Amino acid sequence: MGSLSPNQEFTVVHIGDPIKYNPNVYESFTTKFHVIQPPSEQRQPAEFIKALQDRRWGDFHAVYCPFWNSGGEMGQWNEELVKHLPNTCKIFASAGAGYDWAGIPVLSKYGIYSSFLNPRMRITYSNDARASSESAFTAGSGDVERWKDAQKNRQETAYNPRGRSLGIIGLGNIGYTIAQKAWLGFGMKVLYHVIVKKGRERKGKVNATFYDRLDEMLAVSDCVVLATPFFGTKVIDGERSKQFKKGSRFVNIARGTPVDENALVDALKSGHTFAARLNVPENEPHVHSEFCKMMNVTLTCHNSGRLVMENTNALLFDGKALTPFNAHLIGKGQ
């Protein structure tokens, strides 16, 4: 797709509440585009579709969703909704790497680029989740004996990652970047399994070993990273959690929905899984109460940022989004 005319006024429909972060970037964003922000009552499913049918917001060029926790009132972006978007709409930019609620095949069918943020890709392994969490808790407690105990025992639980196996579920853009860091930066052995195969093969560049059977990869991985979207079924359920190598670590940077949290709690309590670092809970913003009690679990919130606005700007003015997810599907009738 070529870029639209720079002299044309672009209209962006901002779906969700007013922004809280990157206000300076947003101010600049609003000077470049005519931004329309429908109120919450117009973001209900029936009313939202009616507004699109009536062309209430005209022939807009982009949909911008800055938050995960607002703007989703209209539900799934499926055929019933997307077919009413104007032909001028060329990008759906959302703050979040997860996209189980966004109909990627449908957006692609209508020639709409989808762009999502990458979550933080840091993997704590040497100073693993238990060591870092315990250090944070004890340092803030003011208890000298607890602090000494944490320092003393950390040597028994923190391992050098060099030579150890990192199993990655999903070798897309995020999984591949993690593989690069693990292999080039830490000398880890990269293993991977993909739920849905797509695009070009890049495993040779990170010296990765492909496992057709996920259970076989789990059984030999010292640390497992979940970096795949939710396809409707649990990737890590009760039975699969038992297939992990005893004492291994688990890192989830994907959505919480592919993981059976009760099964993970059981695995952590039994010691079968040594520690976990979780980016997004299954029922966000509600965190499983057991995770909050565990010293061997590190929790981080789902984050968003300025990249959403930068993607919209790049596509409309330059004809190419910075982090397009579905570029390979556009124009292929998916």
Range with top average pLDDT, 33-42, 146-155, 210-219, 279-288: 210-219
d(CA 3, CA 61): 12
Give the pLDDT of residue 321: 79
- d(CA 259, CA 248) in angstroms, rounded, equals 16
* Number of C-beta neighbours around residue 66 at 10 A: 26
Q: How large is the average pLDDT for residues 1-20? A: 70
Q: Percent of the chain, pLDDT > 90?
A: 35
CATH, range 10-118+305-318: 3.40.50.720
Q: Which of 38-47, 117-126, 143-152, 302-311 has the lowest mean pLDDT?
A: 117-126
- Give residue 177's pLDDT band: very low, low, confident or very high (50, 70, 90): confident
Where in the chain do CATH 3.40.50.720 domains reside? 10-118+305-318, 128-299
The pLDDT mean for the chain works out to 80
Quick check: bond before 161 cis, omega within 30? no
What count of Cα atoms within 13 Å lies in the side-chain half-sphere of residue 237? 5
Q: What is the pLDDT of residue 6?
A: 45
| Tokens 């966000």 -> residue | 284
Give the CATH number of domain 128-299; options: 3.40.1640.10, 2.60.130.10, 3.40.50.720, 2.170.8.10. Answer: 3.40.50.720
Element (H, E) at 248: strand 248-252
Provide mean pLDDT across the span 140-153.
68
Could you read off the pLDDT of 77-125 as tens digits, one per residue? 888 889 999 999 998 887 654 455 567 788 888 888 877 554 333 333 4
Whether residue 254 has pLDDT greater than 50:
yes
Closest residue by Cα to residue 89 from 109, 69, 66: 109
Average pLDDT for residues 180-189, to the nearest whole number? 91
At 104 the pLDDT is 74
pLDDT at position 7 is: 42
The pLDDT value given to residue 126? 34
Cβ partners under 8 Å of residue 201, min gap 6: none
Is 80 exceeded by the pLDDT of residue 133? no
Q: Does 147 have pLDDT greater than 80?
A: no
Q: What kind and span of H or E run contains 79?
A: helix 79-82
Per residue in 18-77, pLDDT (tens digit) is 887 678 888 888 899 999 999 989 988 899 999 999 999 999 999 988 765 566 677 778
Cα–Cα distance list, 287 to 118, 217, 292 (Å): 21, 28, 7
Residue 261, Cβ density class (10 Å: 0-12 exposed, 13-18 middle, ≥19 buried): buried
The percent of residues in the chain predicted with pLDDT above 70, rounded, is 74
Closest to 304 in 3D by CA, of 71, 36, 62? 71
Query: How does residue 138 score in pLDDT terms, banded at 50, 70 and 90?
Result: low
What integer is the mean pLDDT of 329-333? 67
Whether the predicted model's global pTM rises above the 0.85 cut: no
Mean pLDDT, to the nearest integer, of 158-175? 87
Give the best-scoring range by mean pLDDT among 103-107, 216-220, 225-229, 280-284.
216-220
Q: Report how far residue 11's alpha carbon sits from residue 162's, in angstroms, rounded to the nearest whole number.
A: 50
- Residue 266, pLDDT > 60, answer yes
